[in-house]
Amino acid sequence: MKMRPEKYLRYLFLPNLLELFGTERTKEILTVNPTIIPIREEAATVIINAYVYNKAEVKEYKNISIEEALSLKCNDHIIWINIDGLRKDDVDQLGDQYGIHPLLREDILSINQRPKVDEIDEILFSLMNILYYNEEKNAIGQEQISLVLGKNFVITFQDDPSRDLFNALRERLKLTTSKTRGKEADYLYYTLIDTIVDHYFIVMDKLRDRIEDVEEEIVRGTNKRSLALINVLRKELIVLKRSIYPVRDVLSGLIKSDSELLTEFNERFYKDVYDHVVQAIDLVENYRDMIMGMQDLYISNVNLKMNEVMKVMAIVTCVLAPATVIGGIFGMNFQVIPLSGQHWGFWIAVGAMLIIPAWMLILFRKRGWF
């Protein structure tokens, strides 16, 4: 029988918990089946920007058509074409123009692909995820990006035309002192990957702040909301692991590649990005340890609270036991009971009922039981 927590949580009168414990985010994260051909919706809006540059000059082409992008191919300049919003026809036209293999085109149009690197027909292809932090939903969003490196050209394919991570890189590219303009296309390729990896740390800082907030909440007081927040953090950690861990293999593949598209001089830069990815993975492991520690702290607080309740109940039971015994004795159905016929017998019984519990409380206190 499949359990449905949302079915029972509504009886707790805590609507926020129902949202936190909902399974929609879980389905979004874990529903991945590479054997099923994904159905990608054609982008309603496509933004194509291009830069044609060398050390002496740079030409910028904003929001151009696919036909204009196809006409920019040349041999004496380096071309960077960035497409925000994917359509199959656009990918096929660029693929035909720049010699992108059909298998690579299929990867570009795929959904929820694992980050990877491939080299086919003098084309170096990398697929990665750009991470964003959604402030409204307090969740980590991801966008698939494909990077294609060829002889004197780089093409980047992104899903979402409403946001872009490379604006700072474009501004640097316009400067005459830009290092990118004086190097080969593989340096631009490295710069794009480095920008994506550096943005991981910004997203992870946001998640770290949330972990600290939840930890403080658990320390101040444990409740059902704390458990729900821990559950949410664990789900977001899965997104980080799925997006960052495979990038280490991507960088390792680029470093070990014998492709002529990658110059030996720029290999050191890819090793630097590799070090950043390893550091990001270490941070993810640290976050995982912190979340597991918070879960253990939550369980410990719950057990401690239960122990406190049981201790109070045990003390109350012990304190009331003498009065119960004395009352029970004097309530027996016998003709002759000591002190029952004396006018001061009642006060002796009441005094014993008060003095014995008081003595017990003092004894418990001296032994440190409460």
Lowest mean per-residue pLDDT among 151-155, 174-178, 190-194, 319-323 = 319-323
Answer whether 262's CB lies under 8 Å from 124's CB.
Answer: yes
On the question of pLDDT at 29 being above 80, the answer is no
Q: Count of CB atoms within 10 A of residue 233's CB?
A: 21
In order, the DSSP letters of 289-320 are HHHHHHHHHHHHHHHHHHHHHHHHHHHHHHHH
Average pLDDT, the chain: 83
Structure tokens at 186: 């593989």
d(CA 20, CA 22): 6
According to DSSP, the β-strands at 116-120 and 78-84 are unpaired
In order, the DSSP letters of 269-296 are HHHHHHHHHHHHHHHHHHHHHHHHHHHH
pLDDT at 135: 83
Instruction: Please choose, from the candidates 80, 128, 84, 120, the residue with its C-alpha nearest in 3D space to the C-alpha of residue 100.
Output: 120
Q: What are the phi and psi torsion angles at 156 (to 5°)?
A: -120, 135
On the question of pLDDT at 318 being above 70, the answer is yes
Report percent pLDDT > 70 for the chain: 87
Structure tokens at 250: 């991507």
pLDDT at 32: 65
**Domain spans of the chain?**
19-301, 311-366
Answer whether 176's CB lies under 8 Å from 243's CB.
Answer: no
The model's pTM: 0.78
Fold of 311-366: Methane Monooxygenase Hydroxylase; Chain G, domain 1 (1.20.58)
On the question of pLDDT at 20 being above 70, the answer is no
> The CATH number of 19-301 is which of 3.40.190.10, 3.30.930.10, 3.30.460.20, 3.40.50.2300?
3.30.460.20
Structure tokens at 28: 């979004």
pLDDT at 7: 45
